[in-house]
């Protein structure tokens, strides 16, 4: 089973000179054949936040907090009794998979997606 993501970021919000909030929505949906089993663990997901600049070289990682909430979802007809929604979420600066020394702000977590869900996300970055 493969997932696709459609991101709709909002404009970053500068709370203080040292605190910035990135937010938006992400639509996650299944492509291909989907199998659900009772008691299955949450599916892992992750993506780089599109409006967040990279953390260069060996710069210290700022403090980050991640939040996500279920906005909408589409389950299959046979999905009664299966978990549905976001189970956990975290954010961190991760190395660029293309190489280089920059690190990029990523949101990742576990969710029970069913056929499709839309999550609202917010990642707060504090450089103090």
Residue 122 has a pLDDT of 97
Which of 10, 40, 8 shows the shortest CA–CA distance to 110? 40
**Domain total in the chain:** 1
**Phi, psi (5° rounding) for residue 103?**
-120, 145
Cβ(25)–Cβ(8) below 8 Å = yes
Query: Tens digit of pLDDT for each residue in 15-44?
Result: 999 999 999 999 998 876 666 666 778 888
Query: Tens digit of pLDDT for each residue in 3-14?
Result: 788 999 999 999
Residue 20 has a pLDDT of 97
Distances, alpha carbon 59 to alpha carbons 56, 62, 70, 90, 116, in Å: 6, 9, 33, 20, 37
CA distance 91 to 6: 18
Query: Tens digit of pLDDT for each residue in 94-113?
Result: 998 888 889 999 999 998 88
**What residues make up the domain containing 103?**
2-33+42-126
Judge whether residue 75 has pLDDT over 60.
Answer: no
């Amino acid at each position: 089973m493969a997932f696709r993501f459609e991101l709709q970021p909002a404009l970053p919000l500068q709370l203080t000179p040292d605190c910035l909030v990135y937010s938006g929505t992400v639509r996650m949906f299944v492509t291909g054949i989907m199998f659900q089993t009772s008691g299955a663990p949450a599916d892992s997901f992750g993506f780089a936040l599109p409006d967040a600049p990279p953390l260069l070289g060996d710069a210290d990682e700022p403090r980050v907090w991640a939040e996500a909430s279920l906005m909408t979802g589409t389950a299959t007809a046979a999905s009664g009794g299966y978990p549905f929604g976001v189970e956990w979420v975290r954010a961190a600066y991760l190395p660029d998979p293309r190489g280089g020394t920059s690190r990029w702000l990523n949101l990742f977590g576990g969710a029970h997606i069913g056929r499709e869900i839309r999550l609202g996300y917010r990642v707060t970055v504090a450089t103090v």
